[in-house]
Structure 1
Amino acid sequence: MTNRSEPTDLRPSTLAWVSRHLVAGERIVKTEALHGGITAEMRKLTVGARNGGTRDLVLRTFVDTEYAEDWLSREADALTALPGTGVPAPGLVAVDPTAEHCEYPSLLMTHLEGRPVLDDQGLEARLPLLARQLVAIHAVRPVERPREYMTLTTPETVVTPRSADAVVWAAAIDVIRRPVPSYEGRFLHRDFQPGNVLFEVSVSAGARITGVVDWAAASWGPADLDVAHCSTNLALLHGPAWGLRFAEAYEEAGGVLAATASDRLYWQVRDGLAASEELELVAQPWREAGRAGLTTQVVEERLDTYVTALMDARG
């Protein structure tokens, strides 16, 4: 989703910084606010050249977060590592993680064609594409290993849904009281989910992935964590059954998950419980993108059903 605006809506120092990273003779001729993100302002910048041609860039700006420096540094490192890997990601143009030159911490990158597809229709065909793309991400071996993954959820911070079975959720919370399972580290996107994957969809050719965006949480950790995160998002966005199917699709695409069912359950439950703490933040961008029916109550009920299904699957 976009809103058109004038180039002057860029703050003066940021506009000057962006301009310094353009080719001689180029200038910003249009900006569009990109909606769908949670933590940052996103703008598409249309850049005009002397010969009349144009190209597009994307500016990410963190206006109010204590994690801006870390997130922008992670994203810049990821975008530097991904060229040549076959993973379709934006190209890094410039980064100012400490706001040395801009009003706020910012990152400038190339623009990718395509858009997130959040509709239920066509998901059957998109699911294996998502799985194969995630397997390709986990196959990346960067020269410099990114920082270890972070997960802030604790048994004390989980928010049990109002209509949930308290006994089932207490058992789920007990799952994450266990020690963290051992794992073989992989390059993680850490927020891989339909909102961060761009598609082109046509009647003749079907759907194809054109890009993966938002690398601000790129990390090193277990493949299960990325799979679990995408599964949770699929469960909330499209229904619990789709979340339960994604791990199988990932393995069918050649991905390798934890060897034991208990270790897999740990990561699946941990990410599901993490979602309980930010359901409104998760649902709002989806509603802005056209999924008006995804109220906080609806996604809360879907999360409860999904977590209950995970626990029932223990046997």
Structure 2
Amino acid sequence: MINHNEVAAVRPLTLAWVSRHLKVGEWIVKTEALHGGITAEMRRLTIGTRDGGTRDLVLRTFVDPFYVERAEDGLNREADALALLTGTGVPAPGLAAVDPTAEHCEYPSLLMTHLEGRTFLDDEGLETRVALLARQLVAIHAVRPAERPREYVALTTAGTVVIPKGADAAAWYAAINVIRRPPPRYEGRFLHRDFQPGNVLFDMPPAGLAGARITGVVDWAAASWGPADLDVAHCSVNLALLHGPAWGLRFPEAYEEAGGVLATDANERLYWQVRDGLASSEEVQQVSQPWREAGRTDLTTRTVEERLDAYVTALMDTLD
């Protein structure tokens, strides 16, 4: 039976657009809001099939005016990335349809296949997950697109860094001076650009961790071309904020243990680590709220600020 209240939660034009991209004889049975997204509304759509079964799709819709203005670029990047990754072995969603300029929908939207698994943001099983994250990121960086995506976009500048209250000012000013330098030269790689635990789905068997595996990597809207160090740095700072600075420092080692290659010069590595670490200073509240909504109520804005300060300070201590 169709749950009309749930289906009605999808806006009429978007509902019609989705329906046009279903197979003959399929229909939308129900919708379910997915939580954890920062920039877009996410909904899981259960689709009824002709054989009496169901399959699931995911609808990504940008509704906030700030993100609507930037949606065309992000959705085109995501659509291109999903098409590129088909058949590569990287567990990304399959592209079903995209309307980046809201020509057919109320808001810019993308329709894709649903992947099994879920995100894990707690500390239990973290060592196993870090190793899996590292191996997955190495596999992403091994993808060789026939046409390169756009160059990466830096997420911060020396003038936009927000120094947390009570932070080690000397360490932060030294870190800011690091990113005043020109970016180091690098060998380009295909980047996810937002690779972090919140965008990775896992199957974690309850009986133990031996069968743990990654089932999906989602949110490819920032897919770019740039240094592997930048993707590693982004995952590192997220691990530091979620689980403590030591895990942020550990991730580059795990990446290399998995076969990944980072900059050989310590100062070049530091540049990318610091750049992404400082970028997080501008969005501490924005990233910590979804984590709390996902169950990490211990991650108050203040706690995350303190962890960021400790992580940036630890990075700068490597210069000694």
TM-score by length of 2: 0.96
Q: Indicate how the Cα distance of structure 1 residues 274 and 5 shifts in structure 2: closer, same or farther if over 3 A, else same.
A: farther
Residue 5 of structure 1 contacts residue 31 of structure 1 at CA under 8 Å; is this kept in 2? no
* Aligned ranges 1:249-288 → 2 under 5 Å: 249-288=254-293
CA apart distance, 1:5: 6.1
Deviations 1:109-144 (A, max 9, x none): 000000001110100111110000000000001111
Aligned match for 1:115, one of 114, 118, 122: 118
Deviations 1:268-312 (A, max 9, x none): 000010000000011011111100010000000000000000000
Equivalent-residue separation in structure 1 for 2:225 and 2:159 (angstroms) = 25
- The reply to whether residue 232 of structure 1 matches residue 237 of structure 2 is yes
Q: Which residue of 2 aligns with 1:200?
A: 203
Residue 195 of structure 2 contacts residue 231 of structure 2 at CA under 8 Å; is this kept in 1? yes
Q: Post-superposition, which runs of at least 4 consecutive aligned residues in structure 1 deviate over 3 A? A: none
Equivalent-residue separation in structure 2 for 1:268 and 1:152 (angstroms) = 12
* Aligned ranges 1:235-246 → 2 under 5 Å: 235-246=240-251
Equivalent-residue separation in structure 2 for 1:286 and 1:107 (angstroms) = 24
Unaligned runs of 5+ in 1: none
- The reply to whether residue 30 of structure 1 matches residue 30 of structure 2 is yes
CA apart distance, 1:51: 2.6
Q: Indicate how the Cα distance of structure 1 residues 153 and 81 shifts in structure 2: closer, same or farther if over 3 A, else same.
A: same
Aligned match for 1:302, one of 283, 300, 307: 307
Unaligned runs of 5+ in 2: none
TM-score by length of 1: 0.98
Equivalent-residue separation in structure 1 for 2:5 and 2:295 (angstroms) = 21
**Alignment partner of 1:257: what SS?**
coil
**Alignment partner of 2:45: what SS?**
strand
Aligned-residue sequence identity (percent) comes to: 79
- The reply to whether residue 140 of structure 1 matches residue 140 of structure 2 is no
Aligned match for 1:183, one of 177, 181, 186: 186
* Aligned ranges 1:95-174 → 2 under 5 Å: 95-174=98-177
Equivalent-residue separation in structure 1 for 2:171 and 2:147 (angstroms) = 42
**Alignment partner of 2:212: what SS?**
strand
Q: Cα RMSD (Å) of the superposition?
A: 1.1
Equivalent-residue separation in structure 2 for 1:211 and 1:5 (angstroms) = 30
Q: Which residue of 2 aligns with 1:215?
A: 220
